[in-house]
Amino acid sequence: MSARGLITVAATALALVGGGSPVHAAQKGTLPAVVGDLNDAQLIELRDQNGQVLLQGTLKTSSNKPKETEREATLSSPSGQKAEGEFEIEIERKDGVVIKEEIELSVEHLPAMTQCELFIDGRHVTTLTTSKSGKAELKLQRKSTAGK
């Protein structure tokens, strides 16, 4: 096996196994600008590569304070499958200006090792792959220097 192949296998194994924690496919990164204003976001969808909706939910504001807004959605399968998940948005403000936005996704009971795409209001956010046990976690954020 080539060095590149060995590195790919090792990286994949580390991503799937993790450091002694439960086996989840996990991803962290930057929230793309195409997502738009998370205060107005409504529909969350997790789709397979064929565009079939695996999970969906509607966002509701759970807390809205001057310095922080929290929004949540419980995700369920539109076809009645066992799959389920949670989606959360946290928006931090300083002097009325958004300084940080973060989304978190946690899903389970999905098909194993399946590549899925996350959409917010029909806009593609990112692609993730479930673990061998059908779980996945995602955390994306974007920060602004405005208001600092």
Does the pLDDT of residue 55 top 80, yes or no? yes
* CA neighbor of 97 nearest in space, from 66, 70, 64, 61: 66
Give the mean pLDDT of the chain. Answer: 83
> Residue 20: pLDDT band by 50, 70, 90 thresholds?
very low
- Pick from 105, 131, 94: nearest CA to 13: 131
Average the pLDDT over 16-29 and give the result: 45
